[in-house]
Amino acid sequence: MEELTIIGAINKGLRRAMDADPKVLLMGEDIGKLGGVFRATEGLQKDFGENRVIDTPLAESGIVGTAIGLALYGYRPVVEIQFDGFVYPAFDQIVVQVARMRYRTAGVLHLPITIRMPYGGGIGSVEHHGESPEAYFASTPGLRVITCADPSDAYWMIQQAIASDDPVIFLEPKRRYWQKGQVDTNGDMSTAVPMNGAKVLVEGADCTLICYGPTVATALQAASMAAEEGVHLEVINLRSLSPLDLATLNTSVMKTGRAIVVHEASSSGGIGGEVGQCLMQSCFYHLKAPVLRVTGYDTPYPPSRNENRYLPDADRILDAVEKSMSY
C-alpha cells in the first residue's frame, strides 16, 4: 500500500497505462514541461517523450478533433481539459463525433478516448474555472461518465477508462485533489471495482445518502455527525454517472426507505433528478418519504467569496435528513 493524493494517484495511473500500452498518449494545454496546472502529468513528458505527452495549442475543439483522428488510427488518446469551463468549445466534437461514432458505424469503428476534466468548485477560482457540467455528458448516449472521489479510485478508474473501447468522460473533483488515501499500486485491474459500479462507503438503516465526486467527503462528514445523534445513514458513492449502478441503489433504498441525492451541480436537469426518478420507479412501494436533493442552486457558480453559500455542506444535508425522517 502507498499513501497518495488524488492528483498523485492519477499521475501514477497514467504512468502505468503508458507503460503497459505504447498506443496510449496524452494531449493537453501545458501538460508537458509544466506537468499541467494541477501537476497531474508531472514528469511524464520527461520519461515518455514529446511524441507521447503532447503540449497542444489553446484550442479545445482542435485537441478533441485530433484525438478522434488518432483513435481511428488505433491510438488511445487521453485528453486533458485544463478546467471544466473550458470544455464548451469542444462540446460539438464530443457529443456529435466522439459519442456517436460507434453507433453511426454499427460498431465497425470505435473511439477509445479518455477526456480528463477537473470539475466542481471550492478552490476560490474565477469564472469558467469552477463548474459542474456532468449532466450534459451523462445525458448523451454513447459516453461513459465516471468520477473518482478518493486516491484508490483515481488510480484504478483512470486506467479502466483508458482501457475501455468506449469514450469516457473522466471527471476529477479538483478541490479534493490533495486528499490523501491508501492505494494498492501493486494490484491489477482484475481485482479493482468495475468503473461502472457504485460503492457502499458506510452502511446504515435509516436513510441512503447518494453522492459522487467532491460531495462524497461532505456526505461522509454528515453521516458521522448524524451517527452522533443516533441516525444511521448509508452513504453510496455513485462513481459512474452514466451508466448508473441502479442495482446497488435499489438494494440500499429498499432497505432504508429513504434517499437523498447530493451534488454540486444545479438541481434542475441534474443527476439527482435522474437518480430520483429511477428510484421512484423501482422502489416506490418501499419508500417512506419522497427522494430529496441537496444541490447547488440554479445559477452559475458564484464568485469565490460566495461559494460557501452555494456548495452543499453537511448542515444542508442534515436538514434534508431531518425533513426525510419527518415523513
Question: Do 176 and 217 have their domain in common?
Answer: no
Among 154, 183, 212, residue at a domain's last position: 183
The pLDDT of residue 174 is 97
Question: Which is it for strands 168-173 and 144-147: parallel, antiparallel or unpaired?
Answer: parallel
The CATH number linked to 260 is 3.40.50.920
Q: Is position 193 within any domain?
A: no
Its pTM stands at 0.96
Q: Answer yes or no: are the C-beta atoms of 212 and 263 closer than 8 Å.
A: yes
| Rounded distance between C-alpha atoms, residue 201 and residue 148, angstroms | 13
Q: Answer yes or no: are the C-beta atoms of 55 and 30 closer than 8 Å.
A: yes
Predicted confidence band at 304 (pLDDT cuts at 50, 70, 90)?
confident
The CATH number linked to 155 is 3.40.50.970
Q: Is position 191 within any domain?
A: no
DSSP string, 138-172: HTSTT-EEEE--SHHHHHHHHHHHHH-SS-EEEEE
Question: Do 44 and 167 have their domain in common?
Answer: yes
Among 183, 209, 243, residue at a domain's last position: 183
Question: Do 258 and 136 have their domain in common?
Answer: no
| Rounded distance between C-alpha atoms, residue 194 and residue 115, angstroms | 18
278-291: pLDDT as tens digits:
999 999 999 999 99
Give residue for cell 436538514. Answer: 319
Mean of the pLDDT values across residues 255-260? 98
Per the structure, the count of domains in the chain is 2
Question: In terms of C-beta density within 10 A (0-12 exposed, 13-18 middle, 19 or more buried), how is residue 163 classed?
Answer: middle
The pLDDT of residue 294 is 98
Mean of the pLDDT values across residues 108-112? 96
Q: Is position 60 within any domain?
A: yes
Q: Is position 282 within any domain?
A: yes
The region, left, alpha or beta by phi > 0 then psi within -120 to 50, assigned to residue 228 is alpha
| Rounded distance between C-alpha atoms, residue 323 and residue 317, angstroms | 10
Q: Is the pLDDT of residue 143 over 90?
A: yes
The pLDDT of residue 317 is 98
| Rounded distance between C-alpha atoms, residue 225 and residue 320, angstroms | 13
161-203: pLDDT as tens digits:
999 999 999 999 999 999 999 999 998 888 899 999 999 999 9
264-274: pLDDT as tens digits:
999 999 999 99
Question: Do 16 and 151 have their domain in common?
Answer: yes
Q: How far is CA 195 from CA 11, 64, 69, 158, in A?
A: 18, 23, 26, 9
Expressed as residue numbers, the domain containing 231 is 199-325
DSSP structural state of residue 217: H
138: cell is: 451523462
The pLDDT of residue 319 is 98
Q: Is position 43 within any domain?
A: yes
195-228: pLDDT as tens digits:
999 999 999 999 999 999 999 999 999 999 999 9
Catalytic residues: 129
Among 148, 183, 218, residue at a domain's last position: 183
